[in-house]
């Protein structure tokens, strides 16, 4: 490592990132190896202490549903632990069953990737060419920004716009409309750190205004718990548009593993599957995960899912009402299971996480680069594993500790300025 002024900006950023994450690791709040021999409820063991986990993304609690567990075991007995072949050549029958279930959920052709990230890495270089322009929300998931680096390498212009800033988005579209090839806009359905959502209706309305505009949504954190049959936040708000693509993850609320790419254009979907690099050169989803995914799709397509969704919505409202009651510095009060409290400095964030651990709760610390500079805080999620008593207890603990630690200017802010 070079010293002083000789260090590049990249080296300085990497050093800062490693220092902050390393501190979290040393203090036992990040990159933690759990000490449990089995998981049965919402608690996990960290540093010899049992705490309630408010950091899981298995929103509907299906990751430990006995039907998914039994399906995974049965799948292994039938097909082995893995089928070591690229899906470009052969794939287990479970792949077809999973695709059929996901297509029924989404209502359009789908492709199934080994993860959401690998889905982006397959889809985006196929969809976006060097003559196109890709506009991306600043807070879109890191996996989207990663895949866009591959697209950039082919010569595509990438433009980053401020978070959920529709005025700037329209300005950039206008600047490139009818000038280049196609214009793509990429955003999340639910943003993974702040828990706010994209202005989906406004974005999709632009598709009718600009004939060369295409929209790509990563709805990994909205898929499963939201929308009819769990199709997600995006498709809960709008109907399919011919120039729209939605990508989602199967490792969060869905309770299995993998990613799904969906679009109403069957030719486009076929191109992604046949030409996408990771569809050809990556390994398959493992047997247990495929089988669990098939079982999860059946649950999502049943009346049970509607009841699960309604109960989960009530628990989201419980947190939302508590945020307001305790006047906590939450960045978004949207009805999602992700909550972010701005504390102000990394040191105070670490202190708050440790205080909550002492009270029996685990939440995520978050600072740069996970969030922009100056927005250090805590992120916590809620799942169906967390009962109402645990939720109330966490909110009461936050009500006691946050006012003592939050910096003066760490108040609720308008996310459009982030």
- Domain match, 177 and 83 both: yes
Is residue 415 over pLDDT 60? no
**Do the domain assignments include residue 294?**
yes
Query: Average pLDDT for residues 216-244, to the nearest whole number?
Result: 98
Last residue of a domain, one of 243, 271, 300: 300
Q: How confident is the model at residue 379 (pLDDT cuts 50, 70, 90)?
A: very high
Contact between 204 and 169 (Cβ < 8 Å): no
Mean pLDDT over each residue of the chain, to the nearest integer: 93
Q: What is the pLDDT of residue 26?
A: 84
Q: Specify the range with the lowest mean pLDDT, choosing from 180-184, 305-309, 375-379.
A: 180-184
Query: Hey, what long-range contacts does 50-54 have (CB within 8 A, 24 or more apart)?
Result: 50/360, 51/357, 51/360, 51/361, 51/362, 52/360, 52/361, 52/362, 52/386, 52/390, 52/393, 52/394, 53/362, 53/385, 53/386, 54/361, 54/362, 54/363, 54/380, 54/381, 54/382, 54/386, 54/394
| Residue-level pLDDT at 374 | 81
369 lies in the same domain as 340: yes
* Domain finish residue from 300, 317, 344: 300
- Is pLDDT of 79 > 70? yes
Q: Pick the last residue of a domain from 254, 271, 300.
A: 300
73: pLDDT strictly greater than 90: yes
214-224: average pLDDT: 98
Do 158 and 240 lie in one domain? The reply is yes
What CATH number does the domain containing 378 carry?
A: 3.90.1150.10
Q: Are residues 135 and 270 in the same domain?
A: yes
The number of domains in the chain is 2
CATH of the domain at 196: 3.40.640.10
DSSP string, 200-267: HHHHHHHHHH-TTEEEEEE-TTTTTTSSGGG--HHHHHS---TTEEEEEESSSTTSS--EEEE-S-HH
Band of pLDDT at residue 368, cut at 50, 70 and 90: confident
Q: Are residues 75 and 175 in the same domain?
A: yes
**Considering the domain boundaries, does residue 9 fall inside one?**
no
pLDDT attached to residue 71: 98
Average pLDDT over residues 257-284: 95
| Residue 100 pLDDT > 80 | yes
**Strand extents, DSSP E, 272-409:** 338-342, 361-362, 364-366, 377-381
Cα(23)–Cα(16) distance, rounded to whole angstroms? 11
Q: What mean pLDDT do residues 134-162 have?
A: 97
pLDDT in tens, 33-58: 999 999 988 999 999 999 999 999 99
260 and 113 in contact (C-beta within 8 Å)? yes
Distances (CA, A) of 168 to 137, 163, 175, 225: 10, 10, 11, 31
Query: What angle separates helix 388-405 from helix 303-326, to the nearest 10 degrees?
Result: 30
Same domain as 269, residue 138? yes
Question: Phi first, then psi: what are they for 62, rounded to 5°?
Answer: -80, -15
Structural tokens at position 56: 């899981």
Place of tokens 């708000």: 237
Q: Which domain holds residue 413?
A: 23-53+303-417
Query: Are 268 and 313 found together in one domain?
Result: no
Parallel, antiparallel, or unpaired for β 110-113 and 259-262? Answer: antiparallel
Same-domain status, 264 and 364: no
* Residue 367 and residue 257 share a domain: no
Structure tokens at 375: 């927005």
pLDDT of residue 4: 52
Residue 211 lies in a domain: yes
| Residue 409 binned pLDDT confidence (cut-offs 50, 70, 90) | low
In a shared domain, residues 242 and 331: no
Write down the pLDDT at residue 16. Answer: 74
Assigned domain for 18 exists = no
Q: Looking at the structure, do residues 282 and 315 belong to the same domain, yes or no?
A: no
12 falls in which pLDDT band (50, 70, 90)?
confident
């Amino acid at each position: 490592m070079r010293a002083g002024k000789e260090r590049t900006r990249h080296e300085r950023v990497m050093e800062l990132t490693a220092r902050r994450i390393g501190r979290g690791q040393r203090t036992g709040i990040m990159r933690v190896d759990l000490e449990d021999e089995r998981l049965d409820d919402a608690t996990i063991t960290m540093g010899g202490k049992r705490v309630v986990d408010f950091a899981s993304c298995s929103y509907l609690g299906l990751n430990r549903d006995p039907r998914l567990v039994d399906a995974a075991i049965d799948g292994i007995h039938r097909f082995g632990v893995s089928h070591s072949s690229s899906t470009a050549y052969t794939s287990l029958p479970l792949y077809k069953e999973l695709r059929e279930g996901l297509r029924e959920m989404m209502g359009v052709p789908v492709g199934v990737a080994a993860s959401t990230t690998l889905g982006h890495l397959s889809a985006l270089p196929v969809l976006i060419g060097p003559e196109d322009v890709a506009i991306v929300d600043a807070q879109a998931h890191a996996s989207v920004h990663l895949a866009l680096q591959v697209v950039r390498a082919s010569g595509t212009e990438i433009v980053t716009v401020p978070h959920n800033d529709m005025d700037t988005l329209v300005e950039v579209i206008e600047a490139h409309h009818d000038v280049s090839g196609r214009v793509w806009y990429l955003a999340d359905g639910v943003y993974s750190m702040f828990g706010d959502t994209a202005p989906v209706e406004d974005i999709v309305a632009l598709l009718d205004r600009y004939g060369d505009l295409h929209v790509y949504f990563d709805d990994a954190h909205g898929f499963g718990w939201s929308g009819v049959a769990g199709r997600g936040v995006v498709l809960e708000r709008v109907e399919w548009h011919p120039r729209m693509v939605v990508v989602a993850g199967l490792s969060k609320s869905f309770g299995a593993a993998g990613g799904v790419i969906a679009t109403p254009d069957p030719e486009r979907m076929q191109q992604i599957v046949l030409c996408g690099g990771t569809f050809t050169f990556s390994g398959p989803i493992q047997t247990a995960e495929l089988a669990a995914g098939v079982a999860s799709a059946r649950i999502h397509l049943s009346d049970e899912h509607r009841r699960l969704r309604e109960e989960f919505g009530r628990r989201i409202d419980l947190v939302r009402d508590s945020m307001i009651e305790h006047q906590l510095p939450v960045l978004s009060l949207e009805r999602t299971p992700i909550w972010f409290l701005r504390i102000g400095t990394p040191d105070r964030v670490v202190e708050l996480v440790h205080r909550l651990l002492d009270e029996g709760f685990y939440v995520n610390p978050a600072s740069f680069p996970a969030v922009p500079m100056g927005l250090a805080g805590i992120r916590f999620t809620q799942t169906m594993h967390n009962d109402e008593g645990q939720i109330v207890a966490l909110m009461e603990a936050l009500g006691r500790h946050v006012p003592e630690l939050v910096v003066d200017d760490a108040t609720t802010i308008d996310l459009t300025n982030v």
